[in-house]
Amino acid sequence: MRKKHVFIILALLSITILLQAQQPMNTMVVHADAAKDTISKNIYGHFAEHLGRCIYGGIWVGEDSLIPNTRGIRNDIVAALKKIKVAALRWPGGCFADEYHWMEGIGPRGERPKKVNTTWGGVVEDNSFGTHEFMDLCEQIGCEPVICGNIGSGTVKEMSDWVQYLTSDGDNPMAQLRRKNGREKPWKVRFWCVGNETWGCGGIMSAERYSEELARYSHFLKNYDGNTLYKISSGGLPEDYNWTETILKKWKNTDGWLQGYVSGYSLHFYTVNDWNKKGSATNFTEKEWFFTMKKTLEMDELIAKHSAILDRYDADKKIGLIVDEWGNWFDVEPGTNPAFLYQQNSLRDAVVAAVNLNIFHKHCGRVKMTNIAQMVNVLQSVILTREKEMVLTPTYYVFKMYSVHQDAVMLPVDLKSDVYANGTESIPALSASASRDRNGTIHISAANLHPTKAQTLRCELRGSAASKVNGEIITAETINAYNDFGKPETVNIRPFTGAQVQKGMLTVTLPARSVVTLEVK
């Protein structure tokens, strides 16, 4: 009798273990019946600073260059950027913004003063790329400009004049000057950063001091002729919640003054494991891969915590959280100028981009714009250039594949993921997000952070009876695969057939170290 019981128990146990082994460890519910917030296309924004070869050589080659260009701006770059639907572009910095005096960058190019870029390498800044060239770039790409004003070494007059120069159609000194410089009609400029990292390179201010400056500057940045500014407050260090609290308190308590002025609050967060030892962009271990993923996931907590403060002061979500600098920051490529921040871009960057974008989608009720740092040849770029050559990076392809989410309605997801462990630490192996576009098509994007293990995900599409699925994938043989000059592309978007759907139940097997986007109908 006893033996028989033991046998039955053992048999049941084995069956359970067997069944568990066959069950996918990853499950997800996509709430297609609970759509609420829209994923602003501006989440797909970029950042271009006068830093290294981002502007000069990367975007701007000048009208006399042998590299094909339109009014000095590289044609190949513009064509590539249009394909990923760049929504917004932040300029001229970064830290450079606080040493930039816009009046030096207008008028005949030969007469513009040359100066030293003291922030980034002490190189000559000849001001050949200025306001008109930047606005031309945005028009050529078809994106919205995001201008970062100089609080650190500028004046209220200088910044308010810049707004007038750009946006006024009236009879006033700045609009007249713009006309004299060849632009009759004003431009439309919505996004305006009232300073950059004002805790550091933007003026080394305290939160209290900056909140006063924010009010003073914002008051004098006027709306002209139907142009309405969306003014963005500088944030503090990523985890400085006191800074957020101080600015928001001021925002709430100035008799409505600041509430009428400031519409956005900035958060900067870079993926860096150790600022003193950032590591190579391409020559890294699995341990470094793991810690890069782990660090990137901190973005979720940062956004959640800053949003919780914003929610207390601004329950109606009038203020957008603007993540206007994010991305991987590694060591510069050997032999390049350390101040130019030029780094290669591998499959690891692609997965990091996907994880960040999934996080931004999740928080799109509050996150209204983000700008990856930086567009060309600096940090986590989407494009690298060498003279007339151009390379599209793995990050570029994530932006291309994910562009289907722009202005789509976010579908909340409940993801229960297997773990990816390294030593004693672990993180979720999967990251995912979903949206429904204007045509009713659902897109699900997922990244498998595990470098060596495929993950099967079983997904319920609640509220949808979808029965057709197509997919695309970005992956490679190795974790550090990258695209290089003069070589065939190693990392690109390829068709993906590892998903099946039936009556709203989707099963997908994500290969190790991959990013996938599925279209379900």
Instruction: Just list the catalytic residues.
Output: 197, 325
Q: Which of 52, 57, 93, 105 binds ligand AHR (CB under 6 A)?
A: 93
Exposure b/e, 370-407, CB count within 10 A at least 16 = b: bbbbbbbbbbbbbbbbeeeebbbbbbbbbbbbbbbbbb
State the Cα–Cα distance between residues 301 and 397, nearest whole angstrom.
26
CA dihedral sign, ordered 268, 272, 278, 279: negative
Q: Locate tokens 């460890």: which residue?
A: 25
Helix 156-167 / helix 173-180 crossing angle, nearest 10 deg: 60
Q: How far is the CB of 481 from ligand AHR (least distance, A)?
A: 25
Q: Which two tokens stand for residue 225?
A: 């002729």
| Residue 324 binds ligand AHR, judged by CB under 6 A | no
| Residue 94 binds ligand AHR, judged by CB under 6 A | yes
Nearer to ligand AHR, 169 or 331 (CB): 331
Query: Which range of residues in 93-101, 107-115, 227-235, 304-312 is near ligand AHR by CB under 6 A?
Result: 93-101
Beta bridge partners, 422, equal 425
| Residue 373 binds ligand AHR, judged by CB under 6 A | yes
Q: How far is the CB of 96 from ligand AHR (least distance, A)?
A: 6
Question: Per-residue x/- marks for ligand AHR, 169-198, CB under 6 A?
Answer: ---------------------------xx-
Checking DSSP bridges between strand 367-373 and strand 419-422, what pairing results, if any?
unpaired
Q: Which of 86, 95, 303, 442 binds ligand AHR (CB under 6 A)?
A: 95
Nearer to ligand AHR, 103 or 201 (CB): 201
| Residue 154 binds ligand AHR, judged by CB under 6 A | no
Pick from 439, 444, 438, 477: nearest CA to 460: 444
Pick from 347, 342, 357: nearest CA to 284: 347
Q: Which two tokens stand for residue 435?
A: 């949206």
Query: Which range of residues in 9-17, 88-96, 220-228, 310-318 is near ligand AHR by CB under 6 A?
Result: 88-96
Q: Which two tokens stand for residue 3?
A: 């033996």
| Residue of this chain nearest to ligand AHR (CB atom) | 94
Q: Which two tokens stand for residue 192?
A: 């305006």
| Residue 149 binds ligand AHR, judged by CB under 6 A | no
| Residue 346 binds ligand AHR, judged by CB under 6 A | no
Q: How far is the CB of 215 from ligand AHR (least distance, A)?
A: 22
Q: How far is the CB of 285 from ligand AHR (least distance, A)?
A: 26
| Residue 236 binds ligand AHR, judged by CB under 6 A | no
Nearer to ligand AHR, 373 or 506 (CB): 373
CA dihedral sign, ordered 236, 239, 245, 251: positive
Interacting residues with ligand AHR between 34 and 63 (CB under 6 A):
49
Nearer to ligand AHR, 164 or 380 (CB): 380
Query: Which range of residues in 221-229, 281-289, 373-381, 451-459 is near ligand AHR by CB under 6 A?
Result: 373-381
Would you say 289 and 479 are in contact if contact means Cβ atoms under 8 Å apart? yes
Q: How far is the CB of 54 from ligand AHR (least distance, A)?
A: 9
State the Cα–Cα distance between residues 219 and 222, nearest whole angstrom.
7
In the Cβ-directed half-sphere of 411, how many Cα atoms lie within 13 Å? 26
Residues ≥6 apart with Cβ < 8 Å to 326:
268, 269, 270, 271, 299, 356, 370, 371, 372, 373
Q: Which of 98, 161, 314, 325 binds ligand AHR (CB under 6 A)?
A: 325
Q: Which helix (H) or strand (E) holds 368?
A: strand 367-373
| Residue 514 binds ligand AHR, judged by CB under 6 A | no
| Residue 203 binds ligand AHR, judged by CB under 6 A | no
Interacting residues with ligand AHR between 239 and 298 (CB under 6 A):
none
Q: Which positions lie near ligand AHR, rule CB under 6 A?
A: 49, 93-95, 196-197, 325, 373-374, 379
